[in-house]
A and B are shown apart, each in its own frame.
Chain A
Amino acid sequence: ETGVTQTPRHLVMGMTNKKSLKCEQHLGHNAMYWYKQSAKKPLELMFVYSLEERVENNSVPSRFSPECPNSSHLFLHLHTLQPEDSALYLCASSQGTWGEQFFGPGTRLTVL
């Protein structure tokens, strides 16, 4: 399998649930990203990992917790989310943090 994959593709959760989003890249890249895509708003960069170290956290609430166990995998752990957190969550990867990013298909999250 090639490119960037994300699972699950759709997720519905209650505000008290705990769930995790998974991202895997098969491109040999050394940087990975989480973005939030809401309707009619710019993509919001949430987290950046470079060489498995978190290098950016864009003032994201603590109910979102990223994890990067190795250069190919990235997780986003979710707990006690709010309805306004409903959005498409995109994962991306790149070689270095200056260049082209390759995106996964996203996880469509609905918080009830």
Chain B
Amino acid sequence: AQSVSQHNHHVILSEAASLELGCNYSYGGTVNLFWYVQYPGQHLQLLLKYFSGDPLVKGIKGFEAEFIKSKFSFNLRKPSVQWSDTAEYFCAVNAWANDMRFGAGTRLTVKP
């Protein structure tokens, strides 16, 4: 069965620092890839998604992610974080219909 790994459980950064959150998955076939964000007290919302095409995907709020098929990775990046980016970030992979798998999440704390 497919699995999704997020390597960092908690990341603490200062404002303006660059961010990279790791995500690896185990399935070798065609996948749809997602990053979701959960701000404190709010529901999960989509940051960005990759289905096909350009492996560098741009999402909302200045986030981007790069799909590297050879590394089974879909890392999330942002060049300069803000305090308002404090949230929990979830990577998700859909390799089969009806079977979205999520990582355990990475909590990001941005210090002002």
- Using a CB–CB cutoff of 8 Å, the interface residues on chain A facing chain B are 4, 33, 40-43, 45, 48, 50, 55-56, 90, 92, 96-106
New A-B contacts (13) at CB < 8 Å, excluding given A40-B9, A98-B97: A40-B104, A42-B103, A45-B100, A45-B101, A56-B98, A92-B44, A96-B97, A99-B32, A100-B46, A100-B49, A103-B43, A103-B45, A106-B43
B65 within 8 A of A: no
- Using a CB–CB cutoff of 8 Å, the interface residues on chain B facing chain A are 4, 9, 32, 34, 36, 42-46, 49, 51, 90, 94, 97-105
Between-chain CB contacts (< 8 Å), 27 pairs: A4-B43, A40-B9, A42-B4, A42-B103, A42-B104, A43-B90, A43-B102, A45-B99, A45-B100, A48-B98, A50-B98, A55-B98, A56-B98, A90-B43, A92-B44, A96-B97, A97-B98, A98-B32, A98-B94, A99-B51, A99-B94, A100-B34, A100-B46, A101-B100, A103-B36, A103-B43, A106-B43
How far, in angstroms, from A104 to B43 measured CA to CA in the complex?
Answer: 6
Contact of A105 among B4, B43, B99, B103 (CB under 8 A): B43
